[in-house]
Amino acid sequence: MKPLLHIALKSAWNRRLTLGLTLLAIALSVTLLLSVERIRQAARDGFAQSVSGTDLIVGARGSPLQLVLYAVFNIGEASNNVDWQSYQAIAANPVVAWSVPLALGDSHRGFPVLGTTPAYFEHYRYGDRQPLRFTSGQAFNGLFEAVLGAEVAAKLGYQLGDRLTLSHGSGPLPGLEHEDKPFTVVGILAPTGTPVDRRVQVSLAAIEAIHLDWQGGAPIPGLAIPAEIVSKFDLQPKTITAFLLGLHQRSAVFRLQRKISEFRGEPLLAVMPGVALDQLWQTVGIVEKALLGISWLVFAVGLSGLAAVMLASLNERRRELAVLRSVGAGPRHIVFLLVIESLLVTLLGVLLSVAAVSVAAWLGGPWLAAWFGLSTLPLAVSPGELRLLAGIFAAALLVSLWPAWRAYRLSLADGLIPRL
């Protein structure tokens, strides 16, 4: 008798149309499952690396998540500001390699405005420690110059040399426009897939300049300081929202964190961004679990289709199975024949899906990284995906046992005697 594997291949080829459709369903479902798994992992890595290369984020004492949400994602409100002298004292610590002050609170047509220094463009990192890049222009150098994130420039249609005005607060309300002090666009950043894309970056001095004739969140009646003479005033900020710190050695991060928490000048909080973002992901990560669950349901539908096709074909194959029994094939051979056929279909579907996902990652990975901040999608199968594929084969094996058991119950006489 020919080897059962050869017989299984011949039998499958005779039913290539129905099995081909089943193979396609399994390939699509596994492709969806692997795609969700890769994007889920890349999204998690990208979320945790919305700001990377920064050892500490320092702000007023309060909730660590609130500080990270506001300083990194521009969500919520700052609990309090940080005194400029406190920032300078901490930034002067010998263990600090660099510092970047952040001043938030203004906006431009719904997009947040960030007041900072040119060090922001030098030291800010995202993803796998990728630096900020300019698609055109350069960092601000003059007082009323602005650098736009990629999404701001794309949605509002700004180009280098265009002029814009900022609004006080988080929205463009009547009477809260700084119309007398317009800014000129001098730089546009490349897409990062992070909140940087939705920001307008200006200097700290510019934030002070547009508020010289404001008090308590409103213009001072009867006072208007023209943009031409604001440079004659002291534009050093009194307070900032938060600041980023990079250390010479990461081993000193816990020591500095404790020192900041005991700072006598004012109550401060130092947060390690990676830890805080990982905690935040645990809170919002229910979406990824839901997507993964939907993918498993789709895969279950594909396996159900495989089982249905095999069960439906048993009546057509009763005589084939009976002939095999008559030439010496035992019940275990019949079971093996159906199981190996099911696993072969699953194997081909998995190979097609792995190839499709890898090609998609190769073609679309850079685009996803640029616009959605996803980490680089791997082309090879990861250890986690290998465990996932092992689970797929185990599920396919279990599904194939039902039709195999049905075939085992078919008797020789039932297959050979014509049914009237």
**pLDDT at residue 326 above 50?**
yes
* Same-domain check for residues 198 and 325: no
154 falls within a domain: yes
* Same-domain check for residues 60 and 17: no
Angle 117-122-128 from CA coordinates, rounded to 5°? 130
Neighbours of 110 (CB within 10 A): 13
Point out the domain boundary residue: 271, 302, 326: 271
- pLDDT on residue 7: 64
281 falls within a domain: no
- pLDDT on residue 126: 86
- pLDDT on residue 319: 62
Structure tokens at 270: 């130092």
In whole angstroms, give the CA distance from residue 265 to residue 90.
10
- pLDDT on residue 49: 64
Point out the domain boundary residue: 271, 300, 333: 271
Q: Which of 414, 91, 399, 137 is nearest to 260 (CA)?
A: 91
What's the domain range around 85?
56-271
Higher pLDDT among residues 221 and 198, named by residue? 198
* Same-domain check for residues 266 and 292: no
* Same-domain check for residues 246 and 98: yes
- pLDDT on residue 183: 95
62 falls within a domain: yes
Neighbours of 238 (CB within 10 A): 10
Number of domains in the chain: 2
Structure tokens at 317: 């194959």
- pLDDT on residue 89: 94
pLDDT digits (tens, 9 = 90+) for 86-107: 999 999 999 999 999 999 988 9
The stretch 42-67 carries a mean pLDDT of 81
Longest dimension (CA), the chain: 107
Residues whose CB falls within 8 Å of the CB of residue 85, separated by 6 or more in sequence, listed in order: 265
pTM above 0.75, yes or no: no
**pLDDT at residue 156 above 90?**
yes
Amino acid at position 206, single letter: A
278 falls within a domain: no
**pLDDT at residue 413 above 50?**
no
In whole angstroms, give the CA distance from residue 171 to residue 82.
23
Angle 50-370-372 from CA coordinates, rounded to 5°? 60
* Same-domain check for residues 158 and 195: yes
* Same-domain check for residues 37 and 63: no
Structure tokens at 154: 């794309």
Structure tokens at 391: 């689970």
Point out the domain boundary residue: 271, 304, 321: 271
**pLDDT at residue 280 above 90?**
no
Q: Given pLDDT bands bounded at 50, 70 and 90, which one contains residue 203?
A: very high
Residues whose CB falls within 8 Å of the CB of residue 398, separated by 6 or more in sequence, listed in order: none
Structure tokens at 264: 């006598």
Residues whose CB falls within 8 Å of the CB of residue 334, separated by 6 or more in sequence, listed in order: 321, 324, 325, 404, 407, 408, 410
* Same-domain check for residues 18 and 67: no
- pLDDT on residue 318: 60
- pLDDT on residue 97: 95
* Same-domain check for residues 43 and 61: no
Residues whose CB falls within 8 Å of the CB of residue 71, separated by 6 or more in sequence, listed in order: 57, 59, 78, 102, 104, 241, 242, 244
Structure tokens at 49: 């690396």
* Same-domain check for residues 258 and 135: yes
276 falls within a domain: no
* Same-domain check for residues 193 and 176: yes
Q: Given pLDDT bands bounded at 50, 70 and 90, which one contains residue 33?
A: confident
* Same-domain check for residues 163 and 100: yes
Q: Given pLDDT bands bounded at 50, 70 and 90, which one contains residue 234?
A: confident
- pLDDT on residue 342: 76
